[in-house]
Each structure stands twice: as C-alpha cells, then as structure tokens.
Structure 1
Amino acid sequence: MATAPYGVRLLVGAAVTALDETRKLPQTILTYPMTVASQLAHLVMKVQQDVADLVNRGDEALEELFPPKDEQPEWATFDEDLPDDPFRNLADDDEVAPVTRLTEGRFALFSEGEATPEVVEPAGNGSAGVPGVVERIGYETLTLAQLRARLTSLKLDELEALLAFEEANKARAPFQTLLANRITRASAK
C-alpha cells in the first residue's frame, strides 16, 4: 500500500484525535473541576515556595551585609550556660549556696522516713514508748500514699494512737490531716 501524502495523514490524525476526545468528553467534564482545583492548588503552593526561597536568599544576603549580634539578654539562662558545680548559685557567682533536701511540710508527702524520730510522749503498748501499731505497719517509713492504703484496716484506737504519735514526733501536716479525717469517718460509723 502506498503512503498517503503528509497533509492527508495530518488531517486524518487530527480527525481521529478529535473523535477520541469527543467520546471522552462526558468523563472529562466530570473531572474537569477537580483537575482545575488541583492545578490551582499546585500553582499556589509553587508560588509560596518561590516566595519563601526569595525570603531565605534575602536573609542570607542581609546576614552577609549586617552580621547578627550574638547577644543574650542578662535574664536568659540556658542549660549550656550553667556551671558544672550544682552547688553554685547563679545569682551570685562568688558565694556557694548549699542545696538542701526539703522533707518537711508539703514536700514530705512522698518522702521516706530517714531517721527514727524521737518519741516525746509514750503512747501505748509498743517498745520504748512507741505504739504497737507504729511498729506493726512500719509507720515511720511509710509515704502518704502507702499510709492511705493501710488506713482501712486499722481500728479507731489505732488511728488515734498514730495521730498522737505523728503530732508528738514529726508533726507533718498532710499525715495529720489524713489521720484526722479517717478518725472522723471511723467514729461516725
């Protein structure tokens, strides 16, 4: 078969392509709004990236012309600025401030008993004036949470002995409050 002239082949190709595109037209019309929206979103993101790139290049140029001052406000303290000595007071570098462990008041809520307290008032049937319930439950080493868990198993007289022991020795407010509230509830029953 002989080859058709170039112009004829071009016209036939254009007609076939137009016919194919006409057949796809119903589907293309449905997807056209989404295609336009995605192309618009792509264009907006591209513009934002170009603007950000221009700003970065401007920052670099300004930084070369006007180098930034490496100043830090006197009130700002960063971890790398801290001295290696943990006993050093940051406010006054000439004096050493001792770090004390707070185990009194509200800080005693979850602290362990470090030393056996001095018993001021003998109260009960334990050794050396310590109530028996104190030794039995290991009261002196209990945290507030551990004591709270054991309170339900104690009788009213044992609770009162614990409260008297706490008031006479360590006098920690959270422990006293917990014991007093439990005594109130137990006596109301």
Structure 2
Amino acid sequence: MTESPVFLLTPRRFEDARGWFSETYSQASMAKFGVNETFVQDNQSFSRQTGTVRGIHFQRPPHAQAKLVRCVRGSLIDYAVDLRRQSPTFGRWVSIRLSADGGEQLYIPVGFGHAFATLEPDVEIAYKVTDVYAPDCDGGVRWNDPKLAIEWPLPASGAVLSDKDAVLPSLDELDVDFAYDGRPLLPLAV
C-alpha cells in the first residue's frame, strides 16, 4: 500500500523497431499498491484547445468513483483535490504532468476531486473508474476557488470551460463528506 492515497505510476514500455508495447492496467500490479477496487467503466475525452480546464469533478456515494487516469494524446496537468473534511489535508491538491509520450498514470481514490488543464491543442485523456456514471451523484468544485489556490498553466486567453464547470460551487459550499482513511494527501513521488 502506498503512503499517500493519490499516487503516480508509469507502466513499463517494451520497445523495438516497430514502436512499443505497454500493459496499461493490471489488477495484480494495482493490488501491490493497495488498490483492490474493480474498475467497471472506461472513459475518454478530447479537448481541442490549449488551456481547456475540465473539473474539479467527483461523484457522491453511493456511486463514488476512484479513477486511474492517463493521457493518450498530447499533454496535460492533472489534479487531485482532497475533499475528505476530516483529513488534515482537506482542500489541498497535488498535480502532475501526464503525457502520451511518457505514459504516466495517476490513481485518484474516492474522496478526491479530479481536474485537468490541457497544455497543447488536441489532447485526449482516458481513465478507468470504479463505478458507473450516475448523474444524480455528479458533483464538483469551482476550478478557480481562491481557497484552493490551484496553479493552472493557462495561456493568456484564459481557461476554456464548459458552462457547467463555470458555475460549480466553492469548497465552502460543498455538500459532501467523504470518509477519511487515515492517510493524508502527500506530495507525489515522481
């Protein structure tokens, strides 16, 4: 089990003259990190413009989701925000650059909001989740909440947002309380 509930992993790539092969998910490998959940759905999104911000999203119980996130085209900065009120790191976040070239993946457990910002045009992100999408459990926190003070790598033109993300509530208005497992959010080991 990892010390931090959010962690980075980089699956090994086997290269030859044709290119490379990588096992992007293994239940046995994830169990070595203390992840014993079953992933039930794969999602993928495409963002046309640099500076597209998606998030900060989560699902409430009974359909709360853990995520295993990777960038499959281009590059982005991925964020996990601690939304467990009893955690000493409530409201804190970690971020990491994910790229298709690097193959890095970020594991984000239940109790954390997820967001990303694209660093270039035409970015695709793919992620596995541990529960199905349930619109009645869908939630989020405003991407630019000053209490979070997230450092977004945005172009001079600013963030490209959905109408939904532009009006999400602040952290103080959040109406969810995820369970705290005794592990505070720690900086990502790179």
TMscore range, shorter length: under 0.3
Q: Which has the higher contact order (CA 8 A, sep 6+)?
A: 2
Structure label with greater radius of gyration: 1
TM-score (norm 2): 0.19
Q: Normalized per residue, which structure has more strand? A: 2
TM-score (norm 1): 0.19
